[in-house]
Each structure stands twice: as C-alpha cells, then as structure tokens.
Structure 1
Amino acid sequence: MKQLLNTKFPTSVSHVWLLVLRVTSAAFMLTHGYPKLMTLLEGGEIAFYDFLGLGMTASLALAVLAEFICSILLILGLATRLASIPLIITMLVAAFAVHADDPFGKKEFGLLYLLIFITTLVFGAGKYSIDRLLEKK
C-alpha cells in the first residue's frame, strides 16, 4: 500500500515523460500544420482566419510557422522553449478567437494543446533533446 501512495518519481521518468509529451503532441500538431503548409505552397485562393489584420496569407504563414516548423523543433528538442511560444499563441487564437462562438467541445482540443505547450515552455525539452546536447558544450 505504501508503494501506491508514493508520489516521488525518479528524475529519469520525468525526462522520458517530457520526451514522450513533446514528441507526440508535436507530431499530432504536424497533422494540422502540414495541410496548411500545402495550401500555402499551392498558391491558390486562401481562406484563412485573419486574426491580426495582416491578411489571410500572412495569417496562414504564421500558423504554418507555429504548427509545422515549431512542431518539428519540438520533436527534435531544439529551441524548445522558444518554439513553444508560437504554438501557445496559435492555440490561444484557435480556442478564444476562431472558436469563440462555438461550444466548449470545439475549444477543448485547442485548450489541451495549450496546456501541453505551456508545459513545454515551463519545463523545457528535458534530458533527451538537442537542447541538452548543446547545453553540455
């Protein structure tokens, strides 16, 4: 029974969990970013939420930067905290602007991603990352 109540995890478990959380959430986000990248590269008519008033193409490019490029950086564990910031902003826009009038169920995924990316901002990439390798040099 005492073992079940133990809340202390070895540090190695924390680092493995940061790796799993970082890689899986970023890989899932790539499934949102890749189609946006293809839309941007095709150069056809773009219909995208213009949250900053910069135009639909610029807004789409910023979303691609966050959802595709920053997700790749998270998978690698490279510039993890910096890469988390555009993803956090994108999830804030998705949850509170794009889906502002939608029921909570539509906002839920954006909010869950938001919490994950805030976690990567706060805790960093962990031991198993390029950030850690560069830190050692």
Structure 2
Amino acid sequence: MKKILSVNSAAATTDMALLVARVGIGAIMLTHGIPKMMMLFSGAPVQFPPVMGLTPELSLGLAIFAEVLCSIFLMAGFVTRLAVLPLIITMLVAALVFHGADPFAKKELSLQFLLAYVVLLLAGSGKYSVDYLLQGNRPESVTPDKK
C-alpha cells in the first residue's frame, strides 16, 4: 500500500512514463494529421479554414507540419521540446480560434492535447529517446557493468 501511495518517483519509472506519453499522444495526433495530409495531396480544392489572415493552403500546411512531422519527432523523442512548440501553437489555435465561440465540450480535446504537450515541454523526452542518445548518453541497461 505504501508503494502505491508513494510520491517519490524513481527515474526509471519517470522515463518510462515519458516514453508512453510521447508515443501515445504522438500516435493519437497522427490520426488527426494524416487525414489532413491526404486532403492536401488529394488534388481536390482545399477545404480548410484560413487562420489569422493565412490562406487555407498555408493554414493546412502548418497544421500538417505540426500534427504529422512534429508528432513523429515527438514519438521518437527527437528535438522533443522544439517539436512540441508547433503542436502547442496548433492546439491553442484550435481551442481559441476554431472553437473559440463553441461550448467547452468542443474545445476539450484541443485543451487535453495542449496540456499533454505543455507537460512534455517542461519534462523533456526522458532517457528512452533520440535526444538522450544524441547527448552522448547510453541507456543504463546497455552500459556494461563496472566492477
């Protein structure tokens, strides 16, 4: 019972939680981004609302950049803190511009994504990420034991 209620987190479980959060939220966002990408490359006229004076094509392109490319980077843990910035901006635009006049229920999904991205911005990618490897680190499970 004490272990369940413990607030002390071991680094390994925190790193695993960050991995699960990155991969999970990135994969879910891909389900929103890939249909937008298909819409852009379908050859049909773009049916996407313009944002803040941008053309519909540019608005759609920026959404695809965030929702597809940045989600893939997020899942890999590659430039994680930079990758979540376009995602944060996209979710702010979705909640405050697209659904600004809508009831909270319409904004809720965007706000949930936004919350997850802010947590990942603050926490970083963790040990199970490309970022960690690029820093010249190796996961402890791969490092040979020193005696």
TM-score, normalised to structure 1, is 0.95
**What CA deviation, in whole Å up to 9, does each residue of 1:75-100 have, x standing for no partner?**
11101110000000000000111011
Shift in Å, 1:4: 4.4
Matched position secondary structure for 2:82: helix
CA distance in 2, matches of 1:72, 1:122: 19
Q: Which residue of 1 aligns with 2:93?
A: 93
CA distance in 1, matches of 2:4, 2:98: 43
Matches within 5 A, 1:54-73: 54-73=54-73
| Structure having the higher Rg | 2
Q: In 2, distance between residues paired with 1:86 and 1:126?
A: 20
Mapping of residues 1-137 of structure 1, within 5 Å: 2-136=2-136
Query: For residue 7 of structure 1, what is the amino acid of its counterpart?
Result: V
Whole-Å Cα distance in 2 between the matches of residues 27 and 4 of structure 1?
A: 28
More helix by share: 1
Structure 1: distance between partners of 2:128 and 2:2: 31
* Cα distance change on mapping 1:120 and 1:3 into 2, 3 Å: closer
Q: Distance in 2 between matches of 1:10 and 1:44?
A: 51
Scaled by the length of structure 2, what TM-score is found?
0.89
How far is the alpha carbon of 1:35 from its aligned partner?
0.3
Q: Deviations over 1:23-70 (max 9, x none)?
A: 000000000000000111112111212113120000000000000010
**Over the residues paired in the alignment, what is the CA RMSD in angstroms?**
1.2
Amino acid at match of 1:87: L
- Residues 4 and 80 of structure 1: CA distance in aligned 2, closer, same or farther (over 3 Å): closer
Query: For 1:136, what is the secondary structure of its paired residue?
Result: coil
Question: Unmatched 5+ residue regions in structure 1?
Answer: none
- The 3 A distance-change label for structure 1 pair 125 and 3 is closer
Mind listing any 5+ residue stretches in structure 2 that lack a counterpart?
138-147
Percent of pairs with identical residues: 48
2:144 maps to what in 1? none
Tell me how far apart the structure 2 counterparts of residues 79 and 9 of structure 1 sit (CA, whole Å): 24
Segments of 4+ in structure 1 off by > 6 A?
A: none
Quote the Cα distance in structure 2 between the aligned partners of 1:5 and 1:32: 36
